Amino acid sequence: MSLREVFERLAIYLPDDTLEALLIHSKKQKGHKVQLRLLSEQELAESTEWMAQIEVFKHIVPLWTDDHSNYVGLYVEGPLAYKLCYINHEETDLSPIYRSAASLIAELEQKPELDWEELHKDYPSNENISTEQLAEDIRCMHELQAILEKDSSMEDDVRCQLLYSLMAITPVSEVDSLLSYVDDEDMYVQERACILLGYHGYEPATEILKEVVKHGSPNGKLAARKALSMIRTKQMDKHIKNKPTSHIVNIDGIER
């Protein structure tokens, strides 16, 4: 059974360009030792069927594996459709990591020797994204927010994963929206909000993070301390970068 036939049997629709990119990538990987390999057609069918029975995984299709029980999955429905997440067997975090299969494929084919942790990721993003990417991220944010607001009784695990995703795709221009999750009742959500504020070096969050260090959840306190350290480091880096270069005037009057 071909990759195309597996998706058809599972009633999963992929855009033509995504499917074509996967087919070409599969051929390129054959006969090569790689850190992340595409699942075989049988593995794909079996993994997708069991994952569909678990609420938080039901919109995700596993495509790559490191052969250590970790996977890279493709969202096939919902606001995050066709973005990729990392499925870690030790800790569940289904927030998007890559914007598309093509983005990960390009990274894997350029750096096949690198482990997952060493690969360049699309999310969390920085300031260097296009206008189209910014608009797409904001659209996804709003759609995820609408889902969360519509169903206040959803399971904690589902809510947590949706918030992880929402926070991960939050662009730099909207990073102040993360402040609303710093005092969330879910300590894992609080923890993630603090870490991302630190990642973005968001200085206006400093006083709030200090309050979390004092009064937050156990996870939140540790994350807030780490975030404050990250913000200080980014402040120092920025100061060094912006510091004017000193010139030494030699006896001949020439600056060097």
End-to-end CA distance of the chain: 68
Per-residue tokens: 77: 């429905």
What is the predicted pLDDT for the residue at 152? 81
Cα 157–chain centre separation = 18
Q: Are 160 and 188 in contact (CB under 8 A)?
A: yes
What pLDDT tens digit does each residue of the chain (256 aa) get? 788 888 898 889 999 999 999 999 999 998 888 999 999 999 999 999 989 899 999 899 999 999 999 999 999 999 999 999 999 999 999 999 999 999 999 999 999 889 999 999 999 998 889 999 999 999 999 999 999 999 888 999 999 999 999 999 999 999 999 999 999 999 999 999 999 999 999 999 999 999 999 999 999 999 999 999 999 998 887 777 776 655 554 545 444 4
In this prediction the pTM is 0.89
Strands (E) across 93-220 are located at 96-98
Task: Show Cβ contacts of residue 19 under 8 Å, excluding neighbours closer than 6 positions.
Answer: 3, 4, 7
Task: Show Cβ contacts of residue 244 under 8 Å, excluding neighbours closer than 6 positions.
Answer: none
Distances in Å between the alpha carbon of 87 and those of 66, 75, 123, 168, 240? 11, 12, 15, 15, 38
Cis peptide before 124 (omega within 30 of 0): yes
What is the predicted pLDDT for the residue at 153? 85
What is the predicted pLDDT for the residue at 27? 92
What is the predicted pLDDT for the residue at 100? 97
What is the predicted pLDDT for the residue at 105? 97
What is the predicted pLDDT for the residue at 246? 53
